[in-house]
Amino acid sequence: MKRLIFTLSISFLCAFSCNARNTTIVISLDGCRWDYPFWYDTPMFDFMAENGVESGLVPSFPSKTFPNHYTLATGLYPDHHGIIANRFMDTETGDVFSLSDAEQKFNPKYYGGEPIWITAKRQGVRTAVFYWPGSDVEIMGQHPDTYYNYDAKPRLGLKQRIDGILTQLALPAEERPQLIMAYLEQPDANGHHFGPQSKRTRQAVMMADSLVRRLYDGLCRNKLQKSVNLIVLSDHGMAWVDSTHVVNVKPLLKAEWVRSIEGEIPACIYANAGCADSIYQALKDIDHARVWRKSEVPAYLHYGSSPRIGDVVVLPDIGYVVYDKPISAGGTHGYDPNLQEMHAMFRAIGPDIPHLQLPHFPNVCVYSLICRLLDIEPAPNDGTLPFELTHY
């Protein structure tokens, strides 16, 4: 048995060394605030900080899961790639994009830009993606070489996804991906239910840290740590919301003014013809929120040119939600990306990764970084290379 294991390990190593390009692995931990590793016990994240890049990501607006994961994949702000929220209206058709509506979620018309798995694939780089938002949609007529439908049950568990990455690395050279991406729902799920500063969220962060350690141990066991660049990041942070912090705009609006209200942080209000200014005037002085006409959203938010954005945008103050029903206390996100509570974790380690502490940088830069690591030409995007690499 020992001889068999040794033989398999040697075969694995020899096959892997056939590829000159180092493999890049990107793990997304949904809702992992940049400061969780400073609050909680995260030895693997600390190890990555000590031996690679330690930083944080400034999310794109709105600081929500689907828009930001697609921004990480394309290097485009949501205003430019089209996924402008987790829920929004297609103003041309009246259709509503929603993560709970499979027909709309899987419709390629919503997905602009070129995600990294397509950029890589069209330049001869094999790809494997575990549940990254948008990866199961046929964008530009293509999917990653290996991908998983998030709505298909049973869904792979978090540990299975990590082990699946190691399985991909053990494939024969002609089948092995050089870009692997994986999405994990934690610690976002616990952060929503219990808030960012809670025992259950701490447990979720520590579990995520242990899963990354499991992956890195697998790389080391097969002597691959010098051939793999590992990036661990997140899409956004998390903030506490009290159950009484509701901004209800509906009582201030006449029904005949409003075509639809979609979302809560921010709320996009779609006006009936000629009614946008009436809506703005009725809401502009409300407490605990900023209200803008679409054309007047501040430039630093990079939000307002897409036809899918509402005629009036209502952004609640941090800790508040635009809603018309009672809410439960807990954690949430979507707020102004300049707020530190919304910033996301970033760690990177590997043969092409320098050792440095870096100020937080915009998440539109991640796409350029992955392209550089893979030595491929990026599609047009809104980011730049966030730091210089070694070996280049």
Q: Is 65 a catalytic residue?
A: yes
Question: Among 65, 74, 119, 332, which one carries the catalytic annotation?
Answer: 65
- Say how many C-beta atoms besides its own lie within 10 A of residue 256's C-beta: 8
Give the ranges where 156-302 is alpha helix by DSSP (H).
158-169, 188-194, 199-221, 276-283
Contact 263, 249 (CB under 8 A): no
DSSP per-residue letters across 293-344 = EGGGS-GGG--S-STTS-SEEEEEPTT-EE-SS---SEEE--S-TTSGGG-E
207: helix, strand or coil: helix
Angle at 115 between CA 112 and CA 120, to 5 degrees: 145
What is the radius of gyration, based on Cα positions, of the chain? 22
H-helix or E-strand spanning residue 36: helix 36-39
Picking from 333, 286, 341, 340, the residue whose alpha carbon sits closest to that of residue 313 is 286
Q: Which residues participate in catalysis according to the annotation?
A: 65
